[in-house]
Structure 1
């Protein structure tokens, strides 16, 4: 049947069909990821005990089921004694790639000082947004080139791979743009509040 459809639509159909299949596969994987996160939350509730009843390793691994990343046990214990700890954890996870934890002092700080400077952060967001737009336009160009080229030629498939690569790069710029925005909303006050919390 695929051969009949291909003969009906012609060779130019091959590359768009490949992109559609990749898109369907991506949507399926995102759906599986969503279900996995739901199951992780259920497992978290099954495994959760009092913070005081869990050793550091068990606490960190159990918390990963809820927030999707490993956080230091000291930080988890501090946050658990603050108001609305779940939201605090989620806010911290949103900025975690840009945060450093000092195991000796138990304090959080920025990995780079400029993340704490609103002016520098605003410029970084502008750069990330420009990067997103430029990379997305390059991805569209390669997609147009891939679709307009005979799929039997390597140029079409190389252009298709470049399309996927630039889509991923554009997505990473957009993700970093969002992370920098999260810092602006609650980053500085969040770190100060966690650092000021005293574990029992």
Structure 2
């Protein structure tokens, strides 16, 4: 799988949503190899979008389509300044439920001193039964990019359920992994709360 993450700022969330609707209606039908996307705008105007493709080649083919070019011209105008792009061929998806049914999505983003060890820790759930421990989590999507960057989208049934679930103490093995992850962090982790996520799949 290949994921492209796009992020930036906007003063017009409505225009962003209109462009996303336009992509769904006019571009998505011919996007060969497109697997889905997660998009939204935070309360303070930060835009984040994660587009999933079967491969980097499929994403490249889509970017070369004239329909995509025309659409992006309109989307780029919605940003205040230049948006950032992060491409990832290391992708891990976990779906204990249906992520497209999520009512709230939180995207975390940060940097790490040891990408390999971070992957091991994030990939290790031990024997945790997610449906029992956190039934509010419908899925996760994690990517790595550059030499030290990572991002993770967590799909929740609702924001209220997510906040309640945060109060549950993690299992011991998970708590140990989380503590080690903190020691590997470079700087602060950034959080994007998408209270009105726009979720698409073919």
- Greater CA radius of gyration, 1 or 2? 1
Of Structure 1 and Structure 2, which has the larger fraction of its residues in helix? 1
TM over 0.5: same fold? no
TM range (shorter): under 0.3
Output the TM-score relative to the length of structure 2.
Answer: 0.23
Output the TM-score relative to the length of structure 1.
Answer: 0.23
Which structure has more RCO (C-alpha within 8 Å, separation ≥ 6)?
2
